[in-house]
Structure 1
Amino acid sequence: MAPLSLTHQHLPGMSVIAIAGEVDKTNSAELADYVERIRRPRDHVIFDLAELTFLDSSGLHVLLSCARTCADDDADVHLAAAQGSPARLLHVTGVDVRLPTYVTTEHAIATVLATRTS
């Protein structure tokens, strides 16, 4: 199993969280705790999934829980750069339709910045 690695950066009106490695039931609580700790109220959250190699239903639950929390703050969760099996899971479950999804993290950031200034 590829170890889970989490990093983030705060930009105006958003928190960008990069997830690398694998997320499953053994470490999804670590992801949930991390998101809760670094997410600022009313910030949009962009999950950079470019280096995510595996995602199971427990990790998907974390993403969707974050989306519910963000919605309570009039913010959104955006998914960026998913590929391979994580992208397939997002597609099969319909999450890629429910949450804004982008080919690149840069595109997600630009979209959030544009919506905040309009």
Structure 2
Amino acid sequence: MRNGTETLTPQLHIHRDRGYTVLEFHGEIDIVAALDIVPFLDTATGRPGAQVVLDLRHIEFLDCSGLRLLHRARLRVLDRGGRLRLVCTHPLALRIFQVTGLDALLPPMSTLDEALGQSEATSGSV
């Protein structure tokens, strides 16, 4: 199941769960946090066939830099034949995803279990 969690920055914790690399975002995801997160995000999404979950359940704030991180992760995973799942329950972030159309490209799930059990047909590969 879940292996040990590695805290890479105050805003990013990574662990493995059911064959997926889970990137847990914490706190405020702004331009400063995004700069710290990008190298770890690129490592996780840079492998062929990468299976990645972006878990935003622990965020307090997400700006356009955070949206760019999500979009970057999606493009990198899809370009390499992988799967990307999104977990988010933050009402403002969900509203931003809806307004920007990101929710159609990367449908947010409400739990990590739901994302890890999600079928192939809805893995954000639209």
TM-score by length of 2: 0.77
2:36 counterpart residue number: 30
Counterpart pick for 1:81 among 66, 82, 88:
88
Deviations 1:72-109 (A, max 9, x none): 11113211133122222111111111113211111001
Query: Which SS does the other structure have where 2:13 is aligned?
Result: strand
How many corresponding residue pairs? 111
Query: What's the offset of the Cα at 1:47?
Result: 0.8
Question: Among residues 71, 75, 89, which one is paired with 2:78 in the alignment?
Answer: 71
Structure 2 residue runs of 5 or longer lacking an equivalent are 1-8, 121-126
- Counterpart contact for 1:23–1:55, Cα < 8 Å: yes
Structure 1: runs of 5+ lacking an equivalent: none
**1:4-15 correspondence runs (5 A):** 4-15=10-21
Whole-angstrom distance in 1 between the partners of 2:59 and 2:99: 17
| RMSD over aligned Cα atoms | 2.0
2:105 aligns with 98
Q: Quick one: higher RCO (CA 8 Å, sep 6+), 1 or 2?
A: 1
**Stretch of structure 1 that moved more, 51-60 or 8-17:** 8-17
Identical residues among aligned pairs (%): 24
Q: Give the 4+ runs in structure 1 shifted more than 6 A.
A: none
Q: Secondary structure at the match of 2:31?
A: coil
Q: Matches of 1:102 and 1:11 in 2, distance apart?
A: 16
Q: Which residue of 2 aligns with 1:60?
A: 67
Shift of 1:39: 4.2
